[in-house]
Amino acid sequence: MEQNNAEAGCGNVDTACTNDAPGAPCRRRTGVRRAQTQSEFAETLRRARAVDPGLAHLLCLIRLLGLRPVEALRCVRELADWLVLLRIGVQYLRLPRGVGTSRPRRIEIIDPLREDTIRAIEAALEHCETHDGKLIAGADHKTQRNRLRALLQSARISGELSSQSLRHAYAVSLSNALMDAGASPEQARERVFASVGQGLRAHMFLDTYLREIGERSHEVPRAPGAAGTGSVREEPFDWGVILFTR
């Protein structure tokens, strides 16, 4: 009976309820993605703009607000309200429906990049005004998502420097900004957790999103071979030249 119970998963949950028990491979995120540097982001935007200007605007929203690609598609209707709030100095923007949990969440603004965020939203709204209110063309949301995947592939935005790596860059920038302003590493982590909608999966989050800033605290481990903070904290490039000029 004991053997049957163990085989049915009724034994110790620490040993029975794992991927290894049924022979499933363990999904490891460490090293799969990393934060794009400013120079890499500039090149990403150049390729995106050559394929579809709307894609470049969408990627800017991902980088500056930590959105998932699908969230960036959905947020078009929120942009005008967000712009007003940013201009009056609000620190958090409300995303009505996040992907994964389908619950609202608050997006924290990277304060040193507030003006860049305002310019990115202004440019995205200007694009939408001449493109049927959309960043990515499509008769419905499913069509837009399929087109977005195709555009990302055409622009060679995949692998280590996929659109997800822009969420990593947002997390690093926000964490650095918060700690520069006096927040403890623990406080910064909690605020970044909430802003990107990752809940409390601390080990996965630290091993991926924040591994580039490990030197700032022994509590934020740096993955083997990860880039140091210098590669992430470059001087800002000229957003106007890259994106906001016709």
Among 137-141, 183-187, 206-210, name the one with the lowest average pLDDT. Answer: 206-210
Q: Is position 242 within any domain?
A: no
- Could you tell me the CA-to-CA distances from 137 to 29, 69, 122, 246 in Å, in that order? 32, 14, 19, 19
Q: Is position 213 within any domain?
A: yes
The pLDDT of residue 67 is 93
User: pLDDT tens across 148-163, in order?
Assistant: 999 999 999 988 878 8
Q: Is position 217 within any domain?
A: yes
Residue 181 belongs to a domain with what CATH number?
1.10.443
Locate the DSSP E strands across 14-155. Answer: 92-95, 105-108
Q: Is position 29 within any domain?
A: no
What is the DSSP code string of 175-223?
A: HHHHHHTT--HHHHHHHHHHHHT-TT-HHHHHHHTTGGGGGG-TTSPPP
Q: Is position 138 within any domain?
A: yes
pTM of the complete model: 0.74
The pLDDT of residue 35 is 79
The domain in which residue 114 lies consists of 38-236
Q: Is position 3 within any domain?
A: no
92 and 69 Cβ atoms separated by less than 8 Å? no
Q: Is position 186 within any domain?
A: yes
User: pLDDT tens across 17-74, in order?
Assistant: 444 444 444 444 444 567 788 888 999 999 999 999 999 999 999 999 999 999 999 9
For the chain, the domain total comes to 1
Q: Is position 21 within any domain?
A: no
